[in-house]
Every structure is written in C-alpha cells, then in structure tokens.
Amino acid sequence: SQELEQSPQSLIVQEGKNLTINCTSSKTLYGLYWYKQKYGEGLIFLMMLQKGGEEKSHEKITAKLDEKKQQSSLHITASQPSHAGIYLCGADKSGNTPLVFGKGTRLSVIA
C-alpha cells in the first residue's frame, strides 16, 4: 500500500521566516493534496498537484510536485502566526476516492 512520509514531524519558526515541509511517497503519486488542520477544526484544502513538475501558489504558500511524482514540498514565505497548524499531505491511491495521508507536520510560528 502507498505510504506517505512527512518531514519534519514538527517545526518551530520565527515570524517572518521561510520554511519547507516535505512529503515523500513510496510509490508514484497520481494526485497529491495538501491540507491544513487546526485544533477543533477539520482539514482545510490548500492545493492539489497532478502533474510531474507542477507548482501552485496561493498567497504565501507554494507547493511543488517533483518530476518523478514521488515527492512534494510545501513552502511558506514570510511565515505568520496564522500559518500555525498541522499540515497534512494526502495522496490519491490509484485514481479516485479514498486518500492516504501522512502523519502531518506540526508548525508553530513564534513572534
């Protein structure tokens, strides 16, 4: 079965600093999703990547999928306290439906 490994497990950064979170798959990714989760809330959809080499940005968050489609990175520029939370990557197992998730990366942003 497909497994997703996220690194780092947790991250503490100073406000204004840049950071990168990685998601590595044991198999080729057919669809890679990034979600953010805060305590007491569900998963908030950030971005979805499909094609090798694809890159998407939303505000200060950029996600990339490598050419081999086995690794994705999420980069946050000039981090803010509002970026704090747990970032989860999820993969489409084989095309359609139930997602397999990594364990998440817990991000704290300190002033």
Partner 1 sequence: GAGVSQTPSNKVTEKGKYVELRCDPISGHTALYWYRQSLGQGPEFLIYFQGTGAADDSGLPNDRFFAVRPEGSVSTLKIQRTERGDSAVYLCASSLMGRERWETQYFGPGTRLLVL
Instruction: Give the binding site for partner 1 (CB under 8 A).
Output: 4, 30-31, 33, 35, 40-45, 48, 50, 88, 90, 92, 95-104
Nearest-5° Cα angle at 37, 87 to 91:
55
Distance separating alpha carbons of residues 95 and 107, to the nearest angstrom: 30
Residue number, 8 or 16, with CB nearest to partner 1: 8
Least distance CB 52 / partner 1 (angstroms) = 14
Pairing of strands 105-110, 10-14: parallel
- Closest of 51, 44, 86 to residue 68, by C-alpha: 51
Least distance CB 105 / partner 1 (angstroms) = 10
Least distance CB 49 / partner 1 (angstroms) = 9
DSSP 55: E
Residue number, 49 or 109, with CB nearest to partner 1: 49
